[in-house]
Structure 1
Amino acid sequence: MTDPSARLLGVTDVQAGEPPPPPRHWEADVLLRDGRTAHIRPIRPEDRQLLVDFYSRVSDESKYYRFFSPMPQLSERDLTRFTHVDHRDRVAFVLLVGGAMIAVGRYDTIEPGEAEVAFLVEDKHQGRGIGQLLLEHLAQAGRERGIESFVAEVLPDNQAMIHTFRDAGYQVKSAYEDGVVELVFRIDPTETAIGVMQQREHRAESASIEKFFRPRSVAVIGASRRQDTIGQVLVRNLVLGGYTGRVHVVNPSADSVSGMPAWDSVADIPGGVDVAIVAVPADAVQDVVLDCAAKGVHGLVVISSGFAETGEEGRLRQRRLVGLARSYGLRLIGPNALGIINTDPEVSINASLSSVMPPRGRAGFFCQSGALGSAILEKVQNRGLGLTTFVSAGNRADVSGNDLLQYWEEDEATEVVLLYLESIGNPRKFSRVARRVSRRKPIIAVRSGRSSQGVPMGHAVRKIAAPTEAVDAMFRQAGIIQVESLEEMFDVAQLLAHQPLPRGRRVALVGNSDALGLLAADAANSVGLVVNKQVALGAEATADDFEDALDAAIDDPEVDAVAAIYIPPLNVSGEDVANVLAAVGEQSDKPIVTTFLGTEGVPELLRVPDVAGSSAGRGSVPSYPAVEAAIRALARVVEYSMWLRTPQLAAGDEELVDRDAARSLVNELLMRHPGGRDLDHSEQQALLAAYGIELWDTRPVSTLEAAVAAGEELGWDVVLKATADHLRDRPDLAHVWRNIDDAAEMEHAWATLFALITDAERAGFVVQRNAPPGVPVGVSTMEDPLFGPVISFGIGGPLTELLGDRSYRIPPLAAHDAQDMVREIKASPLLFGYRGSEIVDVAEIEQLVRRVAQLQNDLPQVRQLQLPLVLAGADGAAVLGASIRIEPVLDPRSDSFVRRLSTPPGDTIPD
C-alpha cells in the first residue's frame, strides 16, 4: 500500500531545476455533464494559493476518502510537491471555473508503464461528471508518456469514485486488501472506452443546447426605448412571438422599455435568468459576461457585431470573449448572431432579429450567416415547411453545428435537420456525429465556399489541405444529403418532412401533360432514377382518372415512388384533383411528389392536418414549380434511402493488425529524428507489414554490376526500371525492362534503357522481382491539419492525375466505403473486365484500401503515405513501391480521445 500522505501529493521529492513545459494541447475548455463549461490544464507552481483555497472548501469526508486519514490542511512541503510536477512521470490536471480551482486529478508513475491515479473534487461540484473528465485527460496524457495501465486505491464506502473508474469503459480488475479496494485497468483507447466518452459528450452538449431553447426567463441586455434599435427589435419579437417565459430588460439609462421595468444590470433582476440576449457595443460585452456569470446565467446569445468579422482587432476581442465566457461556465451563441427560435407552443420563443416566427414544423435549422437568416425564415414561412427550432450562430465562436446535431438527435419533434454551413471548425467530429444522427434523421446541408474552400472573416478555422472532393466524400460517408442551393435544400426538406422514404430507384410518372411527362422522364434518367411506369392521362383527365392511376401506381410492386404532374385545363381550379392527391398522399406508404398548378412548397389544398400542431402533417404532398426540381429532390431522397439500407460493416482485419509494433517503430524513429523524415525501404516494409501489407523488395542500383548482383540475389525473373517522377509519368518513354533472367539480359536491358533515357544518372534505377501482369492502381493518404486522415484511390498513371479521377474518404472506413471507393472512379471498368480484359481481384484491392486507411487512422504521425504502384491482377495485388513520411504531432486531431471544446488555431485560453 502507498503511504497515505503521498496519495495526492506524489511519491518523490521535487527534482532540481525547472521541468519542460507540458504539451500545449493538454490545456482545453471542457463541457460538464450539466452543459456548463470549465477549463482544464496542467497544474503550475504558481497554483499554490489556488490549491490552498480549494482544499479549504473540501469537506472532511472528501479529504478522508482521498487520503484514508484526516488531513485538515496541506503542509508547505506538500504544497510544493503537489504543484511541482515533471509532466512526465508525475502529471496533474486542475479544473477551473471563474479562476477558482474546483477539482484536481493526477497520476504518479509507480513503475515503467504503470501509474497510480486519483482525484479530489470540491463537494458542491460533485455529480457533474468531473472525475470522468479528469480520468479521460489523464489517460490520454499517460498514453502520450508511455503509461499503459492505471492503479487506483479507493475506500469501499467511496462508491461514487469506484463507479467513476468502472463506468469509464475500461476492463477494471479489483482486489480487496487491508480495507482498501485496489482497481487496476489498462488505458488503451478501446472501442468501449471511446463509446462511453462519446455518449457523455453527446449528453453534455445536448443539455447545453436545450437550455437555450427552453429558458424559463430571458434578459435582453441593451434593450432600448427607441424603435429603430436592435435591443427594441429583440424585445418586440420576444413579446409578439408569444414567449411563455419571463422577459426582463436591462438598460441603466431607462426606467422602462416597452412597458416593462428596466434594470440597471442583470444582477438586479429578481429571480433567476437562464439566457441573456446581448445587444450592446462590442467593447462592453465582456462586462456583460461577468455580470451574467455572477447571476448564474446559463448562456449568452450575442447579437452584437464588431468581432472577428471586422479584422485582427475584432478577432482578438472575440477570442477574449469566448475564453472569458467559458472560464465562467457560460456557453455562447454568436457573436454577430441573428438569434434563436423555438416554435414549441410550450416555449414559443423568438429571440432573434427576424420578425418572422415560422410555423411549427418538423425541421431544425442551423445557419452561420445572420444576413441570410431572415431570408431563410421568410422562405420557410412562404413554403409552409415549418420549423421546430432555428439558430443563426453568426461567427460560431463557441456553439456550432456539432452542438445542434447532438441536441436534434434527441429532440423527438425534429425529424429533419437543415444546415447552412460556411465553415466547419471540427470536421472530424462533425463526420462522426453526423454519421450517427443520419441513421435516425436525414441531414440536408448547403456548404458555401465549396469550390474555393474559403470561409468568412469571422470564422477562424485551420487551413484545409484536402481537396474539395475529400470534403464531399466526408459528407457522403456521413449520409448527409449535400445540395447545391437553399432552394434545393427546401425542395428536399419538404419531401422528407411529409412523405415516407422510397425503397428504391423505380419511379412512376402520372400526369395530364405529355410534354411535361417527357421532361420528367429525361430528368429521372439524368439523376439515376428508373422510370418503370409512365401513365399519360390526357389533358381532359378528371379527378377520378388521377385517383385510379395513382392507386394503381402505388399498388404496383415494381414502383418505389410516384411523381404526379397536373396542369389544369382553362377555368378549372383543380380542387378536386388536389383532394385526390391529399387523400392518396396521406394513405400511401410510397413517396409522392407533384407539380400541382406549378406551386412551390406544400399548398394548403395538399396539406394533411397534423395532431402535433405542425402546419402540415405527415402525408402532405409537396409541390414543385418545375418537374425537374421535383425529380431532383426525389433523387436526393433515394440516395439517402439507399445509404440507410447499406449495412455498416466493420473492416474486419483486426487479426492482421499489430498496432503496438507500428506505434513502437514510429515512436522510436521520431525519438531519433525529432523533426521527422522519410522512411527508408526496410522501415516502410516493417510499418506496412504491421498492417498486413507486403511491400515487395526493391534494390536501388547505380551501376550495371550492382544491377547484376541484385538480379542474382532476387533469383532472376526481375525487372529493371527507372523510378524518377519525370520518367515514370511519361508514357512516351520506355522506363521499364521486364523478364530479365540472367546477367546477359541485364546487360542488354541496362544498355538499352541508358540509350533511351536522357540523363540516365538521375533515373533512379531499381531492380525488382517480376510481378504478374495487372492493372496499375495507386493508394495514398495524408494527414490534413483540419480533417485529420484522408485516403484516396485511383488507377495509376499521369492521366488519373490530369483528370482528377480519384476517390476520397475520411477514415475510419467501413467495408462498403472501400467498395464504393474502388467503383466510383470513372476508370473503374478497367478492373472489371473492360473490353474482354481479365477481371482483377477487386476484393484484395478493397482490403488493401481498408488496411492503409486503418494505418493512417491509427498513426497521425504518418504525415503522408503513398503506394504509387500496385499491380492488381486476377490472383491478388502486388505492392511494388511506397513512400512514407513521418513527423511529430504538434497539434492533436480535432476529434481525439478526450472531450474538449474546439479552440480556433492560434488561440490561447485564459484562466
Structure 2
Amino acid sequence: MDEVEALPPGYPTEWEADVVLRDGSVGHVRAILPSDQEALQRFHSRQSDESIYLRFFAPLRELSSRDLHRFTNVDYRDRVALVVTHRGEVIGIGRYDRIDAHSAEVAFNISDDFQGRGIGSVLLEHLADIARDMGLTSFEAEVLPQNQKMLRVFADAGYVVARRVEDGIVQVHFDIEPTEKSESVRLAREHRAESVSISALVAPKVIAVVGAGRTPGSVGREVLRHLRDGGFTGQLYAVNPAVQDVLGIPSHPTVSAIPAQVDVAVLAMRPEYALDVVEDCAAAGVHGLVILSAGFAESGKDGQKLEKRMLRLARDSGMRIVGPTSFGLINTADDVRMNASLAPRMVPAGHLGLFAQSGPLGVAVLDSATRRSLGISTFASAGNRLDVSGNDLMQYWLDDERTRAVGLYLESMGNPRKFSRIARRLAMSKPVIVIKAGASKYGVPPGHRVRQAQVDPVAFTAMLAQAGVVHVDDIHQMFDVAQVLIHQPEPAGRRVAIVGNSVQLSALTAQVAESHGLIITHGPTSVDAEAPLDRFAKKLRKAFSDKDADSVIICFTPPLRRSEAEAIAMIHELADGSDKTVVATMIGARGVAARPLGEHRLSEVSDGDQIPEPTRDLPLYMTPEDAVRALAAATRYAEWRRKDKGEPLSRSGIDRAGAHSVIDAELAEHPGGEHLSHEDAQRPLATYGIDLWSRVIVRTADEAVAAADRLGYPVVVKSLSPIVRGQSTLQGVRVDLGNATAVREAYDSLVDRLAAYDLAEFAVQRMAHSGVSTVVTGTEDPLFGPVVTFAVAGPSRDLLRDIGYAIPPLNDVDVQELIDSIKAAPLLQGYKGAPPVHRAALADVIARVSMMCDDLPEIASIILNPVVAHPGGVDVLGAEIELAPPAKRKDIRRRALT
C-alpha cells in the first residue's frame, strides 16, 4: 500500500500484518482499499478459467466496473475484505459479508501462481479473528464440489465443519470460536512456516557477500574469508563492481548479476547504499539478508526511518532480515559449514543452539563455548532485531535434530507473549536457557524496537517460569546449566549423593545443595585427599548403586595433574552403568570433559542404521556453588517437564459477544476511555460469569438503613475512600450489622471517626462469609499484553509486594500455580486451624478474569478487591474496570510477524 495514499474512513490499520507463508516467504495482509480496483482486475486477469469458475460459478473473464466497486468498497464491519500482497501485487483475497447478527458468508480467491503456500488458511485465520471481534460466531460458504482445495482449507482449519449439498453446491457452515484443535492447527502452521523460513537462512546453498573488497581487514572481505576458511559447502560469491574477484572468489557488480539463485546475501556496506542493495536483492529473489553494517536505528531517527523502509521493502518482496548490526550466522553441520559471521574461526560442532543480540555479546558467548569444549549447532546474532528474532530461531530449533538445548542472551524482548508461547512448546522437548535480568525501562540498547513495560519486572520472571524456561543471570551460568542438560540424563528427582576426597569440600557442597532445595540422601562421604583412586571409586560405586539418590555430585581435588585425568576416566566408566545425573567439581576446571578416546555409544533407530547418542561427557565446575546451582536448575527443569501441563480453561458461561456489546457502547459514548465504578462493572463482569455483589452508596444514616432493609441483614457499612482503604489504622468498616439500629450507630460512628478526613461517602453491602480477602487484577501492558495478578489483600500485598503474576492465555495448571506462587498462600489452605478455602471457586474467578483480559484488549485494567475466599466458595465484593481504545497487541490470535 502506498504510504501517502489517503485512507478511507474507518480503515483498520490494526489489521495489517506480515505473515510467513508455507514456503518460508513473506506476504503482507491488509484490508482492501477502493484504490485496489486496478490491482484486483490484474489479479483476475492472471487467473485461469478454472479458478475463475470455481470462485464465481461462471466464466467471468473480466470484472465489471460495478463488480470492482462492490468488491473494493466495504464498511470494515459488516462487509470485510482482506488482501495478501507480494511486491505490491495482490496474490490472495478473502472476504465475508454479514448475513445476520451472528453469521456471515465467507469466500476466497487465491492466485494460481501462489497456490500451495497456505494463503487461504492465513486469510481464514485473520477473517475469523476479525469477525469474532465484530460479534459474529459462525461462517457459511458456498463451494463447488470440484473445488477440493477450498473445502480442505475449511476442513483442515480445526473447526467443526457441517456440509450439505443443495442444487449441486456444497453448503459449508462452522462456528468460528477458537477450539483446542483450531488453536493447535494455527500454531502448528505458524511453526512450520517460520521454521522453514529460518532453515533457508541457516542452511543456504548460495551466499553472496556484498561489500567484499580487497582492503585487508574490511568487514566484507573478512566475512568472505571466514566463509571460505570455515569450509562452507555451497557456492560463494563476492559483490563489488570494482573488482573481478576477492580472495580467489568471483565477484559481480550486483547480486542480480550473479549467475545462480542466491539464497542469502551478507551485507557489509555503508547505510546510504542499503536501500539500493535491498532492492537489488529483492529483484534477484534472495530469501534472506544478514546485515552486519552499523549506522541504522541505533544511530538516531534517520537510521530508524531507513530501517523501516528496508523492512517494508524486504517483506513486500518476501525476504527475511537478520540485523542490522548483526554479528552474523553460524551453522556447524557437516553439510553446511557456514561461518557467515565476524568470528575469525569456526566454533566446534555440537548440540547447543545459541542466540545473542549484540556483536560484543556474540563474541563473548562464542569464546566461552569454545573454552568449555561445549559445541554449537547453530548461532545467530539479531543485532537491532529488525526482523528475525529469538522467537524465529526457537521455531527452527524445535525441528533441528542437531540442537538438544537452546541458549538465548536477550538484551530486549519485542514480543513476550509469542516468546512465552514458543518457548513453552520448545521446552517440552529441549531445555531453553535464557539470560535476561528483567523487563524495565533501563538497559534497552539503542536501535531495539521495544515497547515500554509498565508492570513490575517480576512479571518477566514469572513468564519464564510459566514457560518452563531456565532463567540464569550471566553467560557462565548459562553454559554451566547447558553442560549438564546436554551431556547428562535429566535428574529423576531432587535426591542427591555427595562424594568427595575432601571433608571440608564435601560439607560445603552439602550446605549449598540444601540451600538450592536439593535433598541429600547419600553422604556427604569422602576419602582423604591423598587416598588412591580405587578407594575413591569404591565410595562412588556405592553412590551410583544407591536407589535413593537421583544425582551424584563429585568433589575432587587432585594432588597431581595425572590423577585428574585418571579420575575423569574412572568417573566416566562408573557413570556408564548408571542412569543418574553426574556433575563434578574440580578446582580450577570448567567445561565438558570428554570421555577417553572420544568413545560414543550407539543406539538402534527404526531404519536399522546406527547413530551416535549424546555422549555422557562429564560436566566440570570450578566451585561447588557452580556445580550445585547448575544441577538444581536442571532438576527444576526436569520437574517442569514431568508435571501435568494442564488443560484449556472452560469457557462455560462466557458471552464474549455480550461483553463486546457492553464495552463498545461505553467506548462509543466515551471514545477516549472510561472508568467503570463498582455498579457499572457488574454488566461486563456478568458476561464472563463473575458475580459481583451489589452495594448501595449512601450519604446519610437514613439512606444506610433503607439500603440494609432492601439488601437483607446482616450487612456491612464501609467507607469508599481509597485513603481509608489504604490505612488499616483508620478502620473504615463496620461488619455484621443485624438490624436498623446497629446500621444507624455504625454509620454515625464512621462519620464521627472520619470527619477529620472529610470522607463522607459510604456503601452498604450484604455481610460476606468469613474467609481470606484476596485481590485479583488484570492489566493490559504495552509490552506483555494482558497480565493477571493474584495476592492476599492487606500488608503482604501493599507493603511486602507478595504478588503472583501470570501471562494469559492460562490453563488450569497455570491458575493453580499462580495461587501457590505467593508466600501468603498457606493462609488459603487452613492456617492455624482455620478451614481451607474453596480453592476451585477461587481458581474459577481468576480463570475468568484471565480470559476476559485475554479476549478484550479494551480492558486497560480490572481490579476485583476484595475477593473473599471461604470454605463455601468466593464472594466478589468490589470491582473497578478501566476501559480504553484497544492497543494493538504484539501477539494476536492470528499469524503475524512482529
Q: Which of the five TM-score ranges fits, normalised by the shorter chain? A: over 0.9
- 1:774–1:78 CA distance, 2 compared to 1 (3 A): closer
Superimposed CA distance per residue, residues 777-827 of structure 1 (whole angstroms, 9 cap, x where no aligned partner) = 211111112211111111211442222111111122233323322233223
- 1:174–1:47 CA distance, 2 compared to 1 (3 A): same
Superimposed CA distance per residue, residues 88-138 of structure 1 (whole angstroms, 9 cap, x where no aligned partner) = 332222221112222222223344433322222221211111111122222
Partner Cα distance (1:548, 1:843) in 2: 52
- 1:217–1:781 CA distance, 2 compared to 1 (3 A): same
Q: Please report how far the alpha carbon of residue 402 of structure 1 lies from its aligned counterpart in structure 2 after TM superposition.
A: 0.9
- 1:513–1:607 CA distance, 2 compared to 1 (3 A): farther
Contact 1:335–1:394, Cα closer than 8 Å, also in 2: yes
Partner Cα distance (1:467, 1:377) in 2: 32
Match of 1:319 among 301, 308, 329: 308
Q: Within the alignment, does 1:461 sit opposite 2:439 as a pair?
A: no
The aligned counterpart of 2:133 is 144
Contact 2:143–2:170, Cα closer than 8 Å, also in 1: yes
Q: Within the alignment, does 1:292 sit opposite 2:281 as a pair?
A: yes
The aligned counterpart of 2:532 is 542
The aligned counterpart of 2:627 is 630
Partner Cα distance (1:398, 1:198) in 2: 19
Structure 2 unaligned spans of 5+: 1-5, 603-609
Question: Which residue type is aligned with residue 413 of structure 2?
Answer: I
Aligned counterparts, 1:208-607, within 5 A: 208-448=197-437, 450=439, 452=441, 454-534=443-523, 535-570=525-560, 572-604=562-594
Q: What value does the CA root-mean-square deviation take over the aligned residues? A: 2.2
Partner Cα distance (2:21, 2:285) in 1: 15
1:762 is paired with a residue of what secondary structure?
A: coil
Q: Please report how far the alpha carbon of residue 327 of structure 1 lies from its aligned counterpart in structure 2 after TM superposition.
A: 0.6
Contact 1:453–1:464, Cα closer than 8 Å, also in 2: no
Q: Within the alignment, does 1:749 sit opposite 2:746 as a pair?
A: yes
- 1:184–1:328 CA distance, 2 compared to 1 (3 A): same
Partner Cα distance (2:22, 2:561) in 1: 63
- 1:452–1:539 CA distance, 2 compared to 1 (3 A): farther
Q: Within the alignment, does 1:888 sit opposite 2:885 as a pair?
A: yes
Contact 2:211–2:240, Cα closer than 8 Å, also in 1: yes
Q: Please report how far the alpha carbon of residue 845 of structure 1 lies from its aligned counterpart in structure 2 after TM superposition.
A: 2.8
State the TM-score, normalizing by the size of structure 2: 0.95
Question: Which residue type is aligned with residue 565 of structure 2?
Answer: E
Partner Cα distance (1:134, 1:414) in 2: 33
Question: Which residue type is aligned with residue 598 of structure 1?
Answer: G
Contact 2:667–2:884, Cα closer than 8 Å, also in 1: yes
Partner Cα distance (2:681, 2:101) in 1: 29
Q: Within the alignment, does 1:787 sit opposite 2:776 as a pair?
A: no
Question: Which residue type is aligned with residue 532 of structure 2?
Answer: T
Contact 1:189–1:897, Cα closer than 8 Å, also in 2: no
Q: Within the alignment, does 1:698 sit opposite 2:688 as a pair?
A: no
- Higher mean alpha-carbon deviation, 450-459 vs 637-646, is at 450-459
Contact 2:858–2:887, Cα closer than 8 Å, also in 1: no
- 1:820–1:117 CA distance, 2 compared to 1 (3 A): closer
Q: Within the alignment, does 1:866 sit opposite 2:855 as a pair?
A: no
Question: Which residue type is aligned with residue 583 of structure 1?
Answer: E
The aligned counterpart of 2:893 is 897
Contact 1:575–1:605, Cα closer than 8 Å, also in 2: no
The aligned counterpart of 1:14 is none
Question: Which residue type is aligned with residue 145 of structure 1?
Answer: M
Partner Cα distance (2:575, 2:366) in 1: 26
- 1:818–1:157 CA distance, 2 compared to 1 (3 A): closer
Q: Please report how far the alpha carbon of residue 170 of structure 1 lies from its aligned counterpart in structure 2 after TM superposition.
A: 2.0
Superimposed CA distance per residue, residues 852-910 of structure 1 (whole angstroms, 9 cap, x where no aligned partner) = 2222223222221112212333433322211122233142x2222211111xxxxxxxx
Contact 1:609–1:617, Cα closer than 8 Å, also in 2: no
Aligned counterparts, 1:101-250, within 5 A: 101-250=90-239
Match of 2:639 among 629, 639, 642: 642
1:74 is paired with a residue of what secondary structure?
A: coil
Question: Which residue type is aligned with residue 211 of structure 1?
Answer: A
Question: Which residue type is aligned with residue 872 of structure 2?
Answer: D
The aligned counterpart of 1:854 is 851
Contact 1:278–1:300, Cα closer than 8 Å, also in 2: yes
Contact 1:546–1:580, Cα closer than 8 Å, also in 2: no
Match of 1:29 among 18, 30, 40: 18
Q: Please report how far the alpha carbon of residue 329 of structure 1 lies from its aligned counterpart in structure 2 after TM superposition.
A: 0.8
- 1:661–1:731 CA distance, 2 compared to 1 (3 A): same
Question: Which residue type is aligned with residue 303 of structure 1?
Answer: L
2:620 is paired with a residue of what secondary structure?
A: coil
- 1:510–1:256 CA distance, 2 compared to 1 (3 A): same
The aligned counterpart of 1:7 is none
Contact 2:266–2:290, Cα closer than 8 Å, also in 1: yes
Contact 2:133–2:660, Cα closer than 8 Å, also in 1: no
State the TM-score, normalizing by the size of structure 1: 0.93
- Higher mean alpha-carbon deviation, 323-332 vs 844-853, is at 844-853
Q: Please report how far the alpha carbon of residue 81 of structure 1 lies from its aligned counterpart in structure 2 after TM superposition.
A: 2.7
The aligned counterpart of 2:607 is none
Contact 2:32–2:83, Cα closer than 8 Å, also in 1: yes
Contact 1:602–1:623, Cα closer than 8 Å, also in 2: yes
Match of 1:50 among 18, 39, 52: 39
Partner Cα distance (1:871, 1:899) in 2: 40
Match of 1:818 among 815, 820, 824: 815
Aligned counterparts, 1:804-843, within 5 A: 804-843=801-840
- Higher mean alpha-carbon deviation, 436-445 vs 113-122, is at 113-122
Question: Which residue type is aligned with residue 536 of structure 2?
Answer: F
Contact 2:103–2:138, Cα closer than 8 Å, also in 1: yes
Q: Please report how far the alpha carbon of residue 581 of structure 1 lies from its aligned counterpart in structure 2 after TM superposition.
A: 1.0
Question: Which residue type is aligned with residue 432 of structure 2?
Answer: I
Contact 1:727–1:763, Cα closer than 8 Å, also in 2: no
Contact 2:586–2:623, Cα closer than 8 Å, also in 1: no
Contact 2:204–2:263, Cα closer than 8 Å, also in 1: yes
- Higher mean alpha-carbon deviation, 142-151 vs 91-100, is at 142-151
Superimposed CA distance per residue, residues 649-676 of structure 1 (whole angstroms, 9 cap, x where no aligned partner) = 2265433444444344333433444333
2:857 is paired with a residue of what secondary structure?
A: coil
Q: Please report how far the alpha carbon of residue 423 of structure 1 lies from its aligned counterpart in structure 2 after TM superposition.
A: 1.3
Partner Cα distance (1:697, 1:606) in 2: 75
2:499 is paired with a residue of what secondary structure?
A: strand
Contact 2:568–2:593, Cα closer than 8 Å, also in 1: no
Superimposed CA distance per residue, residues 667-711 of structure 1 (whole angstroms, 9 cap, x where no aligned partner) = 343344433322243443333334443322211111011011112
Partner Cα distance (1:150, 1:713) in 2: 47
1:500 is paired with a residue of what secondary structure?
A: coil
Q: Tell me the matched-pair count.
A: 885
Q: Please report how far the alpha carbon of residue 20 of structure 1 lies from its aligned counterpart in structure 2 after TM superposition.
A: 2.1
